[in-house]
Structure 1
Amino acid sequence: MNSDESFIIFRRFGRLSTRLLLHLQIELVLLQKKLDALDNRDNADPIMHWRLRGGTNFKGYDEEHLELLEEIRKAYLNYAEVLEKDVALRRLDKSTTRDHRSLFNWVRTMNPLCGDLDKAGFITRFDDFVSLSQQSQSTRRFEDFIQRLLGDGPPSRLKIDRAWDVMPLHSSTGWCMEGKDDKQVRYRLETFPISPE
């Protein structure tokens, strides 16, 4: 994969990241409610409410508060770390359809995962890939232009039809690879006659 800049694309796992962030948010909200309940309990006590205002007449802070604040600190740092990583990944450029197709073809042709479709399932979510390449957009546009020119060259005996939408597995037009996300990637090879010159 390191042989070409167009292969340097990886999954962002946006759905998993969102799920983690939602879970961590809920955890923090519940911890905040616990802290509010402790604060309200202290506030209702005529002596203990001074502790909430920073009173210094107490030998030590309530252990229950300290333990809860430590739990909140750990949960918050965990949440902030996942949030920062998600923001950083979202700032990366999405991979182009061409780059994803190149990687897909390479995985399909070279079979680096020994035919294990469960392991190769990551490749089917083309909308979740980001590019790590720092190549300038103008360079990429030039490459795309050249590839389009080459792709529109003289007719060939082989026509390749790429479709990225759902297709039944029992299709007789070609092979089909099913991903874990109910999307399928289909390549259909068809022969067609070439008119004589």
Structure 2
Amino acid sequence: MTPLRLAVIVGSTRESRTGDRIGRWFVDRARRRDGLAVTVVDLADHDPGAQRPGRAAAAAGSFVAQLARAEAFVVVTPEYNHSFPGSLKQAIDHAYDEWQAKPVGFVSYGCGSIGLHAVDQLRTVFTALHAVTMRDVVGVDLLDGAPSPWAADECERAADVLLDQLRWWGLALRDGRAARPYVS
């Protein structure tokens, strides 16, 4: 069977971000799985600038092309002020068809809330884009800017559950899209 193409999107672009480290941890875990071909899409490498989605810059075009190749997504997102970063929303809005009938999972992080406020809002956005969001989330609580060491086992178990769900949905939706075009 052809491996499921999973794109892990690192959604923070701040200079002193934690998302790149959490993203690397998740990608390493995902790459140990059979049946997944994992790529990293770091928004820090794709600066769409202040252009409107209909006039995407070259970097945004590269971002959209990577989304088009993917069959499933994991969004690594921080929680800023009970929401997700504006740069992530802008990047999401540069695509439309590329999200349709594909599963989206979340790895979130924050202080106290483990980023769940951001995930709740992202679920609404991805539902509007006709994507299927996964129920389970990997939530990382930050302690002084770093993941809490006590949560390592819990995060690893949550990552395994999320990857199982993504693979199941990703394969089912891939078969569905092959059998008939998605109607939006």
TM-score exceeds 0.5: no
Query: When you count strand as a share of all residues, which structure comes out higher?
Result: 2
Q: Which has the higher contact order (CA 8 A, sep 6+)?
A: 1
TM-score for both structures, normalised by structure 2 = 0.24
TM-score for both structures, normalised by structure 1 = 0.23
Query: When you count helix as a share of all residues, which structure comes out higher?
Result: 1
Structure with bigger gyration radius: 1
